[in-house]
Amino acid sequence: MSGPLHKFDRPNSYIGRSVVRPDAKRLVEGQGNYVDDLQLPRMVHAAFVRSPYAHAKIISIDTSNAKSVTGVVAVFVGNDINSQVKPWTATLTHLKGMRSPPQLPLADAVARWQGEPIVMVVAQSRAIAEDACELVEIEFEPLEPVCNTEIAAQRGTPLIHPELDSNVAWEREVVAGDADTAMQGSDITTLERTFHFGRHTGVTLESRSVVTEFNKSDDTLVFHYSGQAPHMMQAVLSKHLQLPEENVRVVARDVGGSFGIKIHTYGDEIATAVAARLLCRPVKFIADRLESFSSDIHAREHRVHGKIAVNKNGEIVALTFDDVTGIGPYSMYPRTSAIECNQILNLTGAPYKIENYYAKGTVVFQNKNMMCQYRAVGHPVAMAVCDSLIEDVAHEINMDVVDIRRRNLIADDAYPVTSATGMKFNELSHHQSLDSLIAMMNYDQLRNDQKSDRAAGIYRGIGLVSMVEVTNPSPMFYGVGGAPIAAQDGASIRLDAAGALHVSCSVTEQGQGTNTILAQIAAEVFGVDIDRVKVTTGDTANVPYGGGTWASRGAGIGGESVLLAAKALKDQVLDVAASILQTSADSLDIDAGTVINIADGAERMDLGELGKIVYYRANELPPDIKPELIATRHYRVTDYPFVFTNSAMAAHVEVDVETGFVKVLDFWVVEDCGRVINPKLVDEQIRGGVVQGIGGALYEECLYDDDGQLLNATMADYLVPMAAEMPDIHILHVETPTTTSNLGAKGAGEAGTGGAPAAILNAVNDALRPLDTAIHQMPMTPERILKALYPDKL
Amino acid sequence: MSQKTNIALSVNGEQVQASVPARLNLVDFLRDHLGLTGSHVGCEQGACGACTLSVDGVMVRGCLMLAVQADGANIITVEAFGESVTGEQLQQSFVEHNALQCGFCTPGMLASGIDYIESGGSTDRTHIRKHISGNYCRCTGYQSIVDAIASVVEGRNSLAVETKQTPGAEESGTSNKRAGE
Ligand code: FES
Ligand code: FES
């Protein structure tokens, strides 16, 4: 496909306009519909007894005292729930050799991470359920926990799953060219670094939340959840509770943040569905914050050893690295926990021309909470490793960090390009974006100021990153490997009798403004005012089939399906109008809810009038006109496995060499996400993403001790970015629309989180450089920076 | 645990009587007993600020106060913030500046914002950022929230200038200066 259907650039186009979100008013007035707001007749509340050990045999469980508490409805141990569930196994066939044992909702014989649910208590209130949890007695026999990823795979380390011969879940090697040979030679400079990335987690402000209803009479289950992918969850519930898929309805109304955290299969949520079925009454489970920290997926625990080689012109001749990551005791279902590592293998160095490349990834099991896909999956690690090596080696050969990028970034006119790792790139603008970044941040001036600051004992650093982001995925991401995850999305649009449009679409809203941009697209393509467009998302009973929101696909894929449906509906409506008006459809258009003549713009018929004729006075229509006034279209990306975006970012930081504190002074982003539908919403996605990235770079880490005990599972101890620490973030766009769709939009949800850590890492090391030290561990806490500064004293 | 206490209080201008367990916190009482689900619960330990609401004109954490402690109090929650001028202006400004994404932090952010504006806070972004630093937002990155609060303060300052300017032009010099500070 090529070329836009519509002139989105016309004056007053809804595309490219910062339309205010129609649903925002409801949320600021306290009228949201989050899962915990739901009160249903006879509803009861679940709480879980979770393993206090990272690894332990469960010898016996005594629930008699818990059962006797007034208000307790049921106490379920492992087999009570597990026997109702078909186990799930989180592997994908395209990740060759991957393994992970079958899983069930509750730990039965062995608990394998601290926080794993073991007993479920259902009671009249959550408080009573928690009281009863205290009275459940479990006898454990602690087993040796395996926490350290570096030794998990070694011989002699206890096996987490004795049926497997090692703790290795998956391994992959990528080889392109001949890195070893390329690194030889007298004019080659090589540089090696070991990077450590701490575990962190999503910390959605609304915790994971589920209310499940089961109707015995017709064998139907309704699963209200705070999540991103209703149809995937429908398939999962159907398969593992063994209910016909059509009997499962999944509803996601307002979602209080998700970021990939709420797109997985959690044992406690499945147990809640089972309990509703067993008890035939609605069951609510709202994770408390401790449960969130110890059972929401974590991400990013990686140790990467990387090596770069450049020639004297600063051209990268080879890049090699190996990555070891621990994912907890199982792979998470159904996306698997190997994708993060896979992304790192695929994306490291992606913006640059690199012919000789070697990467090895090892994914191991360990006795910590499970890891899986969280916003910007793999990107923060991939970008930080490559761009840190590039900036460090640039200094090694006395080259400016912007200059070295210009010498290595793939030329803007070189596309399509296939990378050393086999990724297909098209329509990217690395050079233009970098140029625009340099101008926006006033790079030369900053460098000059830096010199004078250093002379005055102020240590400021500038760090950059050039990056790609995976967006608009095709079925090559998950579907190809057998996961029940749709890469296509659908939209239905109908015209009602009053001339308003009703859009239902399978992508979902978690606050990004998805519903708003869908309304903008429908309004623009069809020709009505946006306040005449009502959008429904997040309900399997009411939207076409589709994948939901993940991998930055809402605008690009969901948006395109709306565009196609709006165009199809418009053609239909014009046919009907032409028949009524005794003219040809080609001579008519729709503008602001009115059918007009293309030639002179004269108003011919209001859409409300057309609706009334079709619905109420169809006798006025010729018999051969059978209007539908509804159109459905689906869309998937066919030309490429993924539609990549690119951005260039820069951070300006100050390191206090006495306290180790890092202050982020400024942050700049130039983003190319193709056609921008709503500039304000895109900018806010980037800002929120950057702040999450800064969190990972400077503050956030799930800290475990050697016994696998999570040490900081509260919001007071796990540090997230707060307003006072964050800078204003400056954003510019380069718009290179993708020709894979009419709309031309790519995703924008994850770039900030993917790129910011690299820019911050480079900026901190730039600040530390005159002190002859560096840090390659995230988060870069004051303590770690002081250790880097004063290795002998600490 | 089952011991209950009778309380009587005003919630968003309505007189409410209830019999509540001693351990029930205020935000759970408002949400679960009165169906006022606009106030949110993010941490139950005073760290996130999502539950912030007004008790006798003071912004407090609804999760750190027991319902029994609210006996006799006058409570205003997000559902009624719009009834005050500041609340309405700030809600509108939040919408205009897209100062919310998922909206889960929003009731608490509005509460802190109202508090800042009513206590005479300036348009200084650092001050605003400090004031809302007890409120966690995972979605926005905070900048748009700062914009929304600053714009209400700015609007008020310029209004103050105008009203002062109209009756007595001779005073305008000083009031202009004050507004610009
Ligand atoms: S719920 Fe009260 S401060 Fe977080
Ligand atoms: S808007 Fe989602 S937490 Fe603030």
pLDDT tens-digit map of A711-768: 999 999 999 999 999 999 999 999 999 999 999 999 999 999 999 999 999 999 999 9
Per-residue pLDDT for A772 more than 90?
Answer: yes
Predicted pLDDT at B181: 30
Radius of gyration of chain B (CA): 18
Tell me: the pLDDT tens digits for A511-538?
A: 999 999 999 999 999 999 999 999 999 9
Tell me: the pLDDT tens digits for A382-406?
A: 999 999 999 999 999 999 999 999 9
A205 touches chain B (CB under 8 A): yes
Say yes or no: B74 and B88 in one domain.
no
Say yes or no: B69 and B131 in one domain.
no
Rounded to the nearest angstrom, the distance between the alpha carbon of A717 and the centre of ligand 1 is: 14
- Note whether A256 contacts B132, CB cutoff 8 Å: no
Predicted pLDDT at B168: 45
Q: A559-581 and A607-615 helices cross at what angle (nearest 10)?
A: 80
CB A752 within 8 A of CB A685: yes
Per-residue pLDDT for B178 more than 80?
Answer: no
Among B80, B109, B141, identify where a domain stops. B80
Q: Is B134 in the pocket of ligand 1 (CB under 6 A)?
A: no
Output the 3-class SS for A380-418: HHHHHHHHHHHHHHHHHCCCCHHHHHHHHECCCCCCCEE
How many CB atoms sit inside 10 A of residue A575's CB?
A: 15
Which pairing describes strands B14-21 and A459-471: parallel, antiparallel, or unpaired?
A: unpaired
User: Cα(A435)–Cα(A749) distance, rounded to whole angstroms?
Assistant: 23
- Note whether A30 contacts B135, CB cutoff 8 Å: no
Question: Which residues lie across from A220 on neighbouring strands?
Answer: A215
The ligand whose atoms approach the alpha carbon of A21 most closely is: 2
Please state, in angstroms and as integers, the Cα–Cα distance from residue A398 to each residue in A189, A312, A394, A764, following that order. 11, 10, 6, 18
Among B48, B80, B112, identify where a domain stops. B80
**CB-CB neighbors (< 8 A) of A207 in chain B:** 42
Q: Is B49 in the pocket of ligand 1 (CB under 6 A)?
A: yes
Phi, then psi, of A331 in degrees rounded to 5: -85, 145
Q: Which of A463, A300, A476, A301 is nearest to A379 (CA)?
A: A300
Tell me: the pLDDT tens digits for A332-384?
A: 999 999 999 999 999 999 999 999 999 999 999 999 999 999 999 999 999 99
User: Cα(A485)–Cα(A94) distance, rounded to whole angstroms?
Assistant: 14
Per-residue pLDDT for A214 more than 60?
Answer: yes
User: Cα(A126)–Cα(A210) distance, rounded to whole angstroms?
Assistant: 13
Per-residue pLDDT for A3 more than 80?
Answer: no
Per-residue pLDDT for B176 more than 70?
Answer: no
In a domain, B145, yes or no: yes
- For tokens 């708003």, the residue is A516
Q: pTM of the predicted model, to two decimals?
A: 0.96
Helices (H) and strands (E) in chain A, counts: 20, 31
The mean per-residue pLDDT over the stretch A2-15 comes to 69
In a domain, B178, yes or no: no
CB A385 within 8 A of CB A319: no
Predicted pLDDT at A425: 96
Residues 6+ apart with CB under 8 A from A407: A313, A314, A315
Q: Which residue of A has its CA nearest to B81?
A: A29
Predicted pLDDT at A696: 98
What is the maximal distance between C-alpha atoms in chain A? 92
Predicted pLDDT at B175: 35
CB A141 within 8 A of CB A57: yes
User: Cα(A296)–Cα(A202) distance, rounded to whole angstroms?
Assistant: 8
**CB-CB neighbors (< 8 A) of A716 in chain B:** 45, 47
User: Which atom of ligand 1 lies nearest, measured to the CA of B49?
Assistant: 3
Predicted pLDDT at B174: 35
Give A135's pLDDT tier (boundaries 50, 70, 90): very high
Q: Which of A29, A687, A690, A725 to mutate to test the interface with B (most CBs of B within 10 A)?
A: A29
Say yes or no: B11 and B49 in one domain.
yes
Per-residue pLDDT for B163 more than 80?
Answer: no
* Nearest beta carbon to residue B48 from set A510, A688, A715: A715
Say yes or no: B42 and B58 in one domain.
yes
Q: How far is CA A18 from the centre of its chain?
A: 23
Q: How far is CA A592 from the centre of its chain?
A: 36
Say yes or no: B17 and B69 in one domain.
yes
Per-residue pLDDT for B162 more than 80?
Answer: no
**CB-CB neighbors (< 8 A) of A29 in chain B:** 38, 78-79, 81-82, 91
Q: Which of B94, B100, B101 to mutate to test the interface with A (most CBs of A within 10 A)?
A: B101
CATH number reported for the structural domain that contains residue B96 in this entry: 1.10.150.120
Residues 6+ apart with CB under 8 A from A106: A76, A77, A78, A81, A82, A117, A118, A119, A120, A267, A271
- Residue A651, amino acid: A
Tell me: the pLDDT tens digits for B76-105?
A: 999 999 999 999 999 999 999 999 999 999
In a domain, B181, yes or no: no
CB A140 within 8 A of CB A57: yes
User: Which atom of ligand 2 lies nearest, measured to the CA of A256?
Assistant: 2
In a domain, B91, yes or no: yes
Q: How far is CA A345 from the centre of its chain?
A: 18
User: Cα(B39)–Cα(B31) distance, rounded to whole angstroms?
Assistant: 7
Q: Is B105 in the pocket of ligand 2 (CB under 6 A)?
A: yes
Q: Is A492 helix (H, G, I), strand (E, B) or coil?
A: strand
Residues 6+ apart with CB under 8 A from A510: A228, A255, A256, A257, A258, A259, A549, B101, B102
Please state, in angstroms and as integers, the Cα–Cα distance from residue A76 to each residue in A44, A82, A267, A291, A296, following that order. 14, 10, 13, 18, 22
In a domain, B177, yes or no: no
B54 touches chain A (CB under 8 A): no
User: Cα(A672)–Cα(A639) distance, rounded to whole angstroms?
Assistant: 19
- Residue A408, amino acid: N
User: Cα(B36)–Cα(A354) distance, rounded to whole angstroms?
Assistant: 58
- Residue A116, amino acid: E
Question: Which residues lie across from A60 on neighbouring strands?
Answer: A139
Say yes or no: B116 and B143 in one domain.
yes
How many CB atoms sit inside 10 A of residue A149's CB?
A: 21
User: Which atom of ligand 1 lies nearest, measured to the CA of B63?
Assistant: 2
User: Cα(A169)–Cα(A497) distance, rounded to whole angstroms?
Assistant: 57
Q: A430-441 and A401-408 helices cross at what angle (nearest 10)?
A: 160
Say yes or no: B115 and B47 in one domain.
no
Tell me: the pLDDT tens digits for A28-48?
A: 999 999 999 999 999 999 999
Q: Measured between CA atoms, how close is A728 to chain B, in angstroms? A: 6
User: Cα(A484)–Cα(A234) distance, rounded to whole angstroms?
Assistant: 9
Q: Is B65 in the pocket of ligand 1 (CB under 6 A)?
A: no
Please state, in angstroms and as integers, the Cα–Cα distance from residue A657 to each residue in A651, A770, A788, following that order. 18, 12, 10
Predicted pLDDT at A476: 84
Sheet bearing A662-672, strands edge to edge: A459-471, A643-655, A662-672, A729-733
Q: How far is CA A554 from the centre of its chain?
A: 11
Tell me: the pLDDT tens digits for A159-210?
A: 999 999 999 999 999 999 999 999 998 999 999 999 999 999 999 999 999 9
Rounded to the nearest angstrom, the distance between the alpha carbon of A659 and the centre of ligand 2 is: 31
Does the structure's ipTM exceed the value 0.95? yes
What is the maximal distance between C-alpha atoms in chain B? 67
How many CB atoms sit inside 10 A of residue A150's CB?
A: 11
- Note whether A30 contacts B81, CB cutoff 8 Å: yes
Say yes or no: B74 and B90 in one domain.
no
Element containing residue A127 per DSSP (H, E): helix A126-134
Give A7's pLDDT tier (boundaries 50, 70, 90): low
Cα torsion B118, B122, B126, B132 to 10°: value is 10
Say yes or no: B49 and B110 in one domain.
no
Q: Is B21 in the pocket of ligand 1 (CB under 6 A)?
A: no
* Nearest beta carbon to residue A688 from set B50, B104, B139: B139
The ligand whose atoms approach the alpha carbon of B65 most closely is: 1
Among B80, B101, B120, identify where a domain stops. B80
**CB-CB neighbors (< 8 A) of A34 in chain B:** 37, 40, 104
CB A350 within 8 A of CB A468: yes
**CB-CB neighbors (< 8 A) of B142 in chain A:** 691, 721-723, 726
Q: Measured between CA atoms, how close is B8 to chain A, in angstroms? A: 23
User: Cα(A317)–Cα(A191) distance, rounded to whole angstroms?
Assistant: 12
Say yes or no: B164 and B140 in one domain.
yes
How many CB atoms sit inside 10 A of residue A473's CB?
A: 25
Q: Is B51 in the pocket of ligand 1 (CB under 6 A)?
A: yes
Q: Is B30 in the pocket of ligand 2 (CB under 6 A)?
A: no
User: Cα(A466)–Cα(A155) distance, rounded to whole angstroms?
Assistant: 40
- Residue A96, amino acid: K
In a domain, B89, yes or no: yes
Give A218's pLDDT tier (boundaries 50, 70, 90): very high
Which A positions 135-154 lie with beta carbon below 8 A of chain B? Answer: none
Pocket test for ligand 1, best of B29, B43, B59 (most atoms within 8 A of CB): B43
- For tokens 């905070």, the residue is B142
User: Cα(A260)–Cα(A297) distance, rounded to whole angstroms?
Assistant: 9
In a domain, B19, yes or no: yes
Rounded to the nearest angstrom, the distance between the alpha carbon of A333 and the centre of ligand 2 is: 27
The mean per-residue pLDDT over the stretch A477-489 comes to 89
Predicted pLDDT at A475: 86
Predicted pLDDT at A411: 98
* Nearest beta carbon to residue B103 from set A27, A204, A752: A27
Q: Measured between CA atoms, how close is B93 to chain A, in angstroms? A: 10
Say yes or no: B86 and B167 in one domain.
yes
What is the set of domains in chain A, with CATH numbers? Answer: 7-32+488-635 (3.30.365.10), 35-143+207-255+262-295 (3.90.1170.50), 379-467+642-789 (3.30.365.10)
Predicted pLDDT at A661: 98
The domain containing residue B62 runs over which residues? 4-80
How many domains, in total, are found in chain B? 2
Tell me: the pLDDT tens digits for A652-667?
A: 999 999 999 999 999 9
User: Cα(A473)–Cα(A641) distance, rounded to whole angstroms?
Assistant: 6
Say yes or no: B47 and B14 in one domain.
yes
The per-residue pLDDT of chain B, averaged, comes to 91
Tell me: the pLDDT tens digits for A183-197?
A: 998 999 999 999 999
- Residue A31, amino acid: Q
Which B positions 155-174 lie with beta carbon below 8 A of chain A? Answer: none
CB A589 within 8 A of CB A596: yes
* Nearest beta carbon to residue A715 from set B81, B100, B136: B136
Share of chain A above pLDDT 70, in %: 99
On the question of a cis peptide bond just before residue A544, with omega within 30 degrees of 0, the verdict is no
Q: Is B85 in the pocket of ligand 2 (CB under 6 A)?
A: no
B140 touches chain A (CB under 8 A): yes
Per-residue pLDDT for B2 more than 70?
Answer: no
The per-residue pLDDT of chain A, averaged, comes to 96
What does the block give as tokens for A413? 């006119």
- Note whether B101 contacts A684, CB cutoff 8 Å: yes
In a domain, B112, yes or no: yes
Q: Measured between CA atoms, how close is A140 to chain B, in angstroms? A: 29
CATH number reported for the structural domain that contains residue B20 in this entry: 3.10.20.30
Question: Which residues lie across from A494 on neighbouring strands?
Answer: A502, A630
Share of chain B above pLDDT 70, in %: 88
Q: Which residue of B has its CA nearest to A750?
A: B139
User: Cα(A701)–Cα(A710) distance, rounded to whole angstroms?
Assistant: 10
- Note whether B107 contacts A37, CB cutoff 8 Å: no
**CB-CB neighbors (< 8 A) of B82 in chain A:** 29
Alpha helix positions (H), A14-77: 24-28, 64-67
User: Which atom of ligand 2 lies nearest, measured to the CA of A204?
Assistant: 3
